[in-house]
Structure 1
Amino acid sequence: MEARARLLALALLSCVPAPGSSRRDVLELSDADFDYLSAEHETLLVTFYAPCSTFMHITGSVMLLTFIIIIFLFIFFLLLLLRCGHCKKLAPDFEKAATRLKGTVQLAKVDCTANLEVCGRFGVSGYPTLKIFRNGRDSGPYDGPRSTEDELQTFIKHYDASVVGADSSHLAEFLRAAGMLREQFRFAHSVDLELGGKSVLLFRPPRMDNKFEDSVIVFREYLTIGSLRRFIGDNIHGVCPHLTMENRDRLRVRDLLTAHYDLDYHHNPRGSNYWRNRVMKMASTFSGRGLFFSVANKKDFLSELEEDFGLGTSDGGELPFVTIRTKLGHKYTMREEFTPSQAKYYTERSSGRLKRFIKSEPIPERNSAAVKTVVAENFDDLVNSPERDVLIQFYSRSCSHCKKLEPLSSNPNIVIARMNAGDNDVPNGYDVQGYPTIYLARAGRKDEPIRYEGGRELRDFLKFLKSESTHRLRVGGAKVEL
């Protein structure tokens, strides 16, 4: 259900009708009227096609054509018949959709053999080509399944959670919502699926079916973009979603326990669900206590497990790696076998029984240099001390600017410090994307560190500190004058 771009699948269209079919509900467009007629419709679904009835009138003069032209005509007719086959196959769906959607969404068609200008302008290179237009503007191609029930079921089965509309009376609103949310979620629409008058259904992936929750969720509110967005956000992941690199940012906005193991629904669905079912049982038991649950493929997160949680490939054996990452960035690991008693233990982490995992270098035995060395384990003691300002530099492996800061260390109310951000967890509130990154943590306002964006000479630092420090700045016993 991530990020990365989602396909828009509005499964409404099929193809144009065969000659002789009823066409009164399908708008026929041409080069001459396409622009002004399409602009009259808020949502227009257009199929560009080559008609099956386009045959040359062959007279006696054809007998005079050369053998090369005969071969050319043979190839032409063969390609035309192949194209026509797709249209014939899906023609009934198109006519049915046009009739059932009449007055809600207009369906239209363009004969590309007679309207080369329009088809060329919209890049039509094969038949049928299906496009969605909004107020005369090309909103993009339709790439999803056609609206036969078998193909819709294939769409639901093989993709992540799917949002399916099935009520033509609310189709315009559904299309607007799908257009706004298509980068986040996957949509389809069917006029064939009998859903008992329900307007929108959310289908969770069949591979995630379980006895603890419903696989199909019915949307029962008044349909708007906002209400549909809330409905999807509240229900799409279920009790225990599959955490991936694509959806991790969306899932980690809350305190999340994740069981990492050899999860592979393509080659080992039974084994994949063995551990997930155990996690699901705990999730259903301890729901509502502020902790959410998920499962993940261990191989996808190996570097994160090692760098963020200190878990190597030799740890755990066949058992899952179980971790907690809170919305504040706090981290916990479980090194015992995953059991219901352990899950309860984790939900009670606020009592202090569960120790946070902090990636940290060892605390220096001696730290008497002018520029103090900070590691994750002593960050609170040195940087968050409420009495003094602390100018701290986050660096990688070298600290080329630290010596320039040494003269400032003589001031009794300011501490100059440095921290290797690659080997230590950086606390919340400090955004370190490159090196060096420098912050000032002011006395009495440690939760509001100020990022330094100035030059790297001593005079630049002095100017910054004179402006932002809590106490009057002195260097070498004298008040600084700039």
Structure 2
Amino acid sequence: MRLYQIFILCLFYLSCNAKEEDVLELGDSDFDSIIAEHETALVMFYAPWCGHCKKLKPEYAKAAEDLIRNDPPVALVKIDCTEAGKETCNKNSVSGYPTLKIYRNGEVSQEYSGPRDAAGIVKYMKAQVGPSSKEVKSVAELEKFLTAEKEASVVGFFEKESDLKAAFLKTADKLREKVRFAHSTFKDVLDKQGVTDGIVLFRPSHLNNKFEESTIKFTGKSDADSIKTFITKNFHGLVGHRKSDNRQEFENPLIVAYFNVDYVKNPKGTNYWRNRILKVAKEFDGKLNFAVSSKDDFQHELNEYGLEFVKGDKPVVTARDSKDQKFVLKEEFSVESLTVFAKDVLDGKLEPYLKSEAIPDNNDVPVKVAVAKNFNELVVDNDKDVLIEFYAPWCGHCKKLVPVYDELGEKMKDENVVIAKMDATANDVPAPYDVRGFPTIYWAPKGSKDAPVKYEGGREVDDFVKYIAKHASSELKGFDRKGNAKADKTEL
């Protein structure tokens, strides 16, 4: 290997490990003593073989770089539950990987329920330290607060104690993980804003535009619910910047334009397209929600609409209506085509996009193959009970289940029960089936297919048989209600 190649590899190795060094690796011998030294810490309990842990680690390390320099700092810790940290993991009731918990001064404060990407972890944990609303004492401090992050901010201006101030601080406590809050009682700050008892939402400067005001004053009742509603309605504006750490905040019906959204390297180019979307959004204000997203950051989401690769600079546009049905703008993007598309989504004139494998040519098999296009026929609209497994082809637990499930299909092939499976990575999973891991199995009794029950039992053939025998709408021909095989009358 050439010398310069070795040099480059060394630099790469050092840069990777520099990030890892910001994450504290602890074990049973030092966990309690060191964790107690930190006012706030996020702890990841992991196993080296865990796929989700491997995916999280680089994001965790990247977040640690930022959080260790925060004021006040937040420590990010990891502990191996298979080796040096077995006892600590047991004491913390860790049953799955990765498990994340927030500690304050050495004691567990709460389960971490935030995003799993670096930006999301940073935002969530920054909200965990210090007061929920920052007190600003001067005009300069307020300006610094408003420009410190490229996010909307909510600021309360109070000349004296009031019901509005109490409700504002209560709201800040509830929304601290999603919204940046500040407040001031200082005369210079209040005079500058011209507000003596009020709340103002400030949109970040990079999102300022001619279609909406950059600041909005709260005019509702002096209670926390009214303030929360005001923030939720106005926080992202007519066309919000939808990112991986805030995507859950955008509600249906929603139209999203994907393109090269980059407010660091190309803010002018980003706003060129966003302004055109704003023009359309203004026309539908209150009827549809709009957002822009980076096509590179959301390629996995674009795949769900059949968009494998997005060429060119123009936005591609998708939508979900109030029923969560999916739609794609098929015409080239323009203000005119987006306007027509938005109206058609609102009026229910479009054919929804359905991600689906082809319907099997022959489905006369013990374990039926469900795809999105035959799901209603096979699962919902038939007159039989259904046990359906949602799987992923790469899932080890799913592969282990295959022979068991095939045997179950054989045992149930003459019963009034359908045993089915569906590749949830290649097909849209319809509501109300909620699939967040693999395999996920549901029992759908006939006559109540709109309320399937998640199967939580064992994974052996006898476990499935006993469950089906007990819950079947009609007693099985081959098994009693306890799952015992009935005697074959031809042999008597």
Same fold (TM over 0.5): yes
Choose the corresponding residue for 1:163, options 154, 172, 191: 154
Partner of 2:293: 296
Partner of 1:410: 413
Q: What is the deviation of 1:276?
A: 0.9
Partner of 2:312: 317
Q: Is the CA contact 1:474–1:480 (under 8 Å) kept in the aligned structure 2? A: no
Distance 1:167 1:477 in 2: 72
Q: What is the deviation of 1:478?
A: 12
Q: Is the CA contact 2:470–2:482 (under 8 Å) kept in the aligned structure 1? A: no
Partner of 1:457: 460
Q: What is the deviation of 1:260?
A: 0.8
Choose the corresponding residue for 1:443, options 442, 446, 452: 446
Q: What is the deviation of 1:445?
A: 1.0
Q: What is the deviation of 1:186?
A: 0.6
Distance 2:388 2:433 in 1: 10
1:248-302 Cα shifts (integer Å, max 9, x gaps): 1111x3221110111122232221111111111111112343x211111222212
1:288-340 Cα shifts (integer Å, max 9, x gaps): 43x2111112222122222x222123x34221121113454422222322233
Distance 2:478 2:144 in 1: 73
Partner of 2:63: none
Q: Is the CA contact 1:404–1:457 (under 8 Å) kept in the aligned structure 2? A: no
Distance 1:161 1:352 in 2: 33
Aligned counterparts, 1:74-473, within 5 A:
140=130, 146-159=136-149, 160-170=151-161, 173=166, 174-190=168-184, 191=186, 192-193=188-189, 194=191, 195-196=193-194, 197-251=196-250, 253-289=251-287, 291-306=288-303, 308-313=304-309, 315-326=310-321, 328-339=323-334, 340-349=336-345, 353-397=349-393, 398=399, 399-473=402-476
Give the match's secondary structure for 1:463: helix
Cα 1:221–1:345 change in 2 (3 A) is closer
CA RMSD for the aligned pairs?
A: 2.8
Distance 2:444 2:238 in 1: 40
Aligned counterparts, 1:44-59, within 5 A:
none
Q: Which runs of 4+ in 1 moved over 6 A?
A: 476-480
- Letter of the 1:169 counterpart: K
Cα 1:143–1:170 change in 2 (3 A) is closer
Which is bigger in relative contact order (C-alpha 8 A, separation at least 6)? 1
Q: Is the CA contact 1:262–1:299 (under 8 Å) kept in the aligned structure 2? A: yes
Percent of pairs with identical residues: 40
Q: Is the CA contact 2:132–2:172 (under 8 Å) kept in the aligned structure 1? A: no
1:404-445 Cα shifts (integer Å, max 9, x gaps): 212343335221111112222211122223332221222111
Distance 1:351 1:219 in 2: 32
Q: Is the CA contact 1:411–1:477 (under 8 Å) kept in the aligned structure 2? A: no
1:16-72 Cα shifts (integer Å, max 9, x gaps): xxxxxxxxxxxxxxxxxxxxxxxxxxxxxxxxxxxxxxxxxxxxxxxxxxxxxxxxx
Report the TM-score, using the length of structure 2 for normalisation: 0.63
Q: Is the CA contact 2:389–2:439 (under 8 Å) kept in the aligned structure 1? A: yes
Q: Which structure would you say has the larger Rg?
A: 1
Distance 1:179 1:310 in 2: 41
- Letter of the 2:139 counterpart: E
Give the match's secondary structure for 1:201: strand
Structure 2 gaps, min length 5 = 1-104, 106-128, 394-398, 486-492
Distance 2:480 2:174 in 1: 62
Give the match's secondary structure for 1:368: coil
Q: Is the CA contact 1:359–1:423 (under 8 Å) kept in the aligned structure 2? A: yes
